Each structure stands twice: as C-alpha cells, then as structure tokens.
Amino acid sequence: MRQRNPKQKLLMGPGPSNPDPRVLRALSEPTLGHLDPDFLEVMDDTAELLRYVFNTKNELTLPISGTGMSGMETAMVNSLEPGDKAIICVAGAFGERMADVAGRAGAQVVRVEAPWGEPIDPDDVKKAIRKNPDAKVLGIVHGETSTGVLQPLDEIAATVHEAGMRIIVDTVASLGGVDVPTDRLGLDVVYSGSQKCLSCPPGLAPITFGEKAVAFIENRKTTCQSWYLDLGMIRRYWGSERFYHHTAPINMIYALNEALRIVKEEGLDARFARHKAAQEALIAGLLDLGLEPVVNEPYRLPTLTTVYVPEGVSEAEVRRKLMDEFGIEIAGGLGIFKGKIWRIGLMGTNATKANVVRLLGALREVLK
C-alpha cells in the first residue's frame, strides 16, 4: 500500500473547492466529547454563523452530519408524510434527484420542468399549483450545479406561499457565493453543503427550517422515516436540552466553524461581489477563447460557469491535460450534458481573478 500523498490542486469543478488553510488547520484541533461544554459553545457559534450566511433568524438552523445530499434528504423526510403531494421543479440533475428523494419519502410527486440550461418558468409553477391545490410543498434548486443556472426565486416563492404551501430550496451551489434570501422571501426549508462556496471540506449539510416547517415537524402524524435525519430529535441536541442523539462529527464542525468565521470576516456583500467579478472575468476570457456559454444572462450562476465543448475537441482529454499538466480540476457534464459541456467552479476562496487567469492560461495552452 503506497503512502497517501494528496497533492495541492486547484479545484475548479463543481465542488469540493479548496478550503482555506485556516479551515484545514481547524480540522486537526483536539477532538472533544460531543457533550463537552467547550464543544457545545462551538456548536452554538456555528449555528449563529449559519444564521448569518442563510440570512435568517430561524432558531432551527444547524449542520446535518452528512454531505450536501443528506441535507436534501433531511429536508424531504422532515417536510412530508406518506401520500403528501409535492411539486418538484426539474431543470437539471439535482432537480431530478429532488424528485427521486421526495418520492422515496413517500410523496406523490408532480413535476414542473424546464429544459436543461434554462430556469423554471414561474408561470409553469402557477399552472401546476392551480392543478394541484392540495400539494403540501414545492421543491426547487437555487443554483443547479449540472447546468449553471441561477434560479430566480421571488415570484415562485410568493406563488407558493399564496397557495398556503411550503417551499424547499436547494442552495448547495449558492450558499456563501450568491445571496440566499431565506427570511426576505420566507423560504421554509433551505439546505446546502459545506464543500462549495463555504470552502470547507465535504461532510456537513447546513440546513434551516422556518416557523411553518417546524410546525410540520411538531404536528406530523407519522414518525419520520429516517432516525438519523429526524430533526424532531436532532433539534433537541442542538437546542438547550442537549439531548444525546448521535455523536456529532466534532472535527468537521471545527472546520465549518472556521470557514463561517472567514465568510463573516469578509462580509456577505463583498463575498458576492467577488464571486460575480470573478465570473465576469472568466466569461470574458472564455469568449475570447471562442467558447460559448451554456446559460444566457441574467440566469448565470456566478459560482459555476458552464460552456460548450467546441466541435472536434475531446472533452475528457482537455480535462485530463488541465489536471496532469497544470494541476487544475474542472468538470464535465452530467446527464444530457455528458461530453458536451465543461463546468467551471469559482467557489468560496477560489473565486479570484488570479485563479481565473491561471485557468485561462492553461486552457489556452491545452486548446492550442
């Protein structure tokens, strides 16, 4: 067995992104017991910092002990009872997954679709709600990592709330890089992952539940199908009761705590502006190389840019050369975009013009 020896690489795929060195150092701080008062303080700080990045006052705000997809599953199993109708918006791979996860949680799933590379049309949501006034929740992806679309939420959230439903929003690719207006739009359930724009290693899924979403948990008639993700119990550990549920991933929470401190030091507005500026520089450079963006303005997700692979160029070969010769990771497409697009992430600490210039220089060489 060879010595494990991971090299420093520039992670410009859809995540994980490169954690800040401060975050990696935090990971190796001494492990404490999960009920140690010093650790409980770190938990409280972390929840408070998560409220800051989620733009919310929601009490029930915490990191789930799993990766981003565990956040999606936590959202669904704590928002649905078997047989409940759920409208799920599907315009990419993560919308597809949401429909799958909601179905496994026992929901009757109604799909609202848009072509990959385009946002969901609010009028289609209105039609679906008119046809399904008995639906309990609507699920939608804010930043669709498979297409690079940033989904506008204002009109859709208003429509959902007028109908008395709850809205569940996937912000795995947006939280910390794009404004997530939880309280402004009254988003009922919002979840994310640690490894993208928060620049923490993968392994935690921040989540926040609003008042109506908490009321659902408190008044549900059936037991949550997941014990591990049952927020009815987990909230008793993160709340003042400190009721033991499972052993929290202590060191990962140190890392998230440090990553969130870095976000707060920079400030959300400055952070969003940095992501936006980095993407603008990237798009300008990609156009200059003759590459065509997949997504039209104003729907480009600042944290993840998608471009078509030019005719006659091997998608995988370009990625292999970027990695082997330049130590830079970008990603190919998923689903219908497999082999047809590249996905370039500018997430968290990585969203800088210096990284953009480094990638463009390498890409220019490789495409020669």
Report residue 346 CA to chain centroid gap: 13
Contact 238/47 with Cβ under 8 angstroms? yes
Where in 204-223 is the site for its own copies (CB under 8 A)? Answer: 223
Size, binding site for its own copies by CB under 8 A: 76
For residues 282 and 289, what is the distance between their CA atoms, to the nearest angstrom?
11
The nearest distance, CB 58 to its own copies, in angstroms, is: 19
- Residues 63-96 as b or e (16 or more Cβ within 10 Å = b): bbbbbbbbbbbbbbbbbbbeebbbbbbbbbbbbb
User: Does residue 90 belong to the site contacting its own copies (CB under 8 A)?
Assistant: no
Distance, CA of 219 to CA of 62 (rounded, Å): 21
Task: Kindly tell me which residue out of 7, 218, 241, 265 binds its own copies, with binding defined by CB under 8 A.
Answer: 7
Does residue 85 touch its own copies according to CB under 8 A?
Answer: no
In this chain, which stretch among 18-26, 53-61, 211-219, 354-362 interacts with its own copies, using CB under 8 A? Answer: 18-26
Residue whose CB is less far from its own copies, 94 or 119: 94
φ, ψ for residue 138 (rounded to 5)? Answer: -125, 135
- In the bound complex, what is the minimum distance in angstroms from residue 12's beta carbon to its own copies? 10
Out of 69, 110, 217, 277, the only residue in the binding site for its own copies (CB under 8 A) is 69
Do residues 146 and 170 make contact, with C-beta atoms less than 8 angstroms apart? no
DSSP assignment of 313-367, as one string?
--HHHHHHHHHHHH-EE-EE--GGGTTTEEEEE--GGG-SHHHHHHHHHHHHHHH
Peptide bond into 37 cis (omega under 30): no
Nearer to its own copies, 48 or 154 (CB): 48
**Least CB distance to its own copies at residue 199 (A):** 9
The stretch among 196-204, 211-219, 278-286, 303-311 that binds its own copies (CB under 8 A) is: 196-204
| Span from 63-71, 121-129, 163-171, 288-296 in contact with its own copies (CB under 8 A) | 63-71
**Residue 193 lies near its own copies (rule: CB under 8 A):** yes
Task: Rule CB under 8 A: say whether 195 interacts with its own copies.
Answer: yes
Q: Does 144 bind its own copies (CB under 8 A)?
A: no
The tokens for 95 are 């919308």
Helix%, strand%, coil% for the chain, nearest 5: 40, 15, 40
DSSP type of residue 222: S
In the complex with its own copies, the residue whose CB is nearer, 18 or 159, is 18
DSSP-derived secondary structure for 141-161 = ESEETTTTEEPP-HHHHHHHH
Please report, as residue ranges, which positions from 326 to 365 form the binding site for its own copies (by CB under 8 A).
Answer: 329, 334
Closest CB to its own copies among residues 155, 266 = 266
Alpha-carbon dihedral sign for residues 37, 38, 43, 44: positive
- Give the nearer residue to its own copies in terms of CB position, either 26 or 114: 26
**Secondary element (H or E) of residue 272:** helix 268-288
In the complex, the smallest distance separating the C-beta of residue 130 from its own copies, rounded to whole angstroms, is 29
Task: Please report whether residue 202 would count as binding its own copies according to CB under 8 A.
Answer: yes
Structure tokens at 55: 């733009």
Q: Which of residues 95-134 bind its own copies (CB under 8 A)?
A: 97, 100-101, 103-105
Residue where the block lists tokens 């912000």: 171
Q: What residues between 223 and 262 interact with its own copies by CB under 8 A?
A: 223-229, 244-252, 254-255, 257-258, 261
Q: Give whichever of 34 and 142 is closer to its own copies, judged by the CB atom.
A: 34
Stretch that binds its own copies, among 33-41, 83-91, 210-218, 268-276 (CB under 8 A): 33-41
- Choosing from 73, 84, 96, 118, the residue that interacts with its own copies (CB under 8 A) is 73
Spatial separation of the C-alpha atoms in residues 308 and 198, rounded to whole Å: 27
296 near its own copies (CB under 8 A):
no
CB distance 146 to 116 below 8 Å:
yes
In the complex with its own copies, the residue whose CB is nearer, 103 or 122, is 103
CB of 15 to its own copies, least distance (A): 6
